[in-house]
Amino acid sequence: MSTAAVPTPFTQTARSAEASQTPGGLIIFLNGTSSSGKSSIAKELLPILDDTYFYMPVDAFHAMRTTPRDLAPDQLQSVLKHTWMGFHRAVAGMAAGGNNIVVDHVLSEQWRLLDCLALFASADVVLVGVHCPLPELEQREQMRGDRPPGLAARQIAQVHAHGLYDIECDTSATSPLDCARQIRDFLPQRPNPTAFEQLKSIRHAEPPTG
Instruction: Confirm or deny that 97 is annotated as ligand binding.
Output: no
Query: Closest by alpha carbon to 32, among 187, 140, 120, 119?
Result: 140
Query: Closest by alpha carbon to 174, among 141, 143, 126, 129?
Result: 129
30 vs 32: CA distance, rounded Å: 7
Instruction: Confirm or deny that 35 is annotated as ligand binding.
Output: yes
Give the Cβ contact number of residue 118 at 10 Å: 12
Instruction: Confirm or deny that 67 is annotated as ligand binding.
Output: no
Instruction: Confirm or deny that 33 is annotated as ligand binding.
Output: yes
45 vs 55: CA distance, rounded Å: 10
| Residues designated catalytic | 59
8 Å CB contact between 76 and 88: no
Instruction: Confirm or deny that 36 is annotated as ligand binding.
Output: yes
Summarize the annotated binding site as residue ranges. 32-39
Bind-site residues for ATP: 32-39
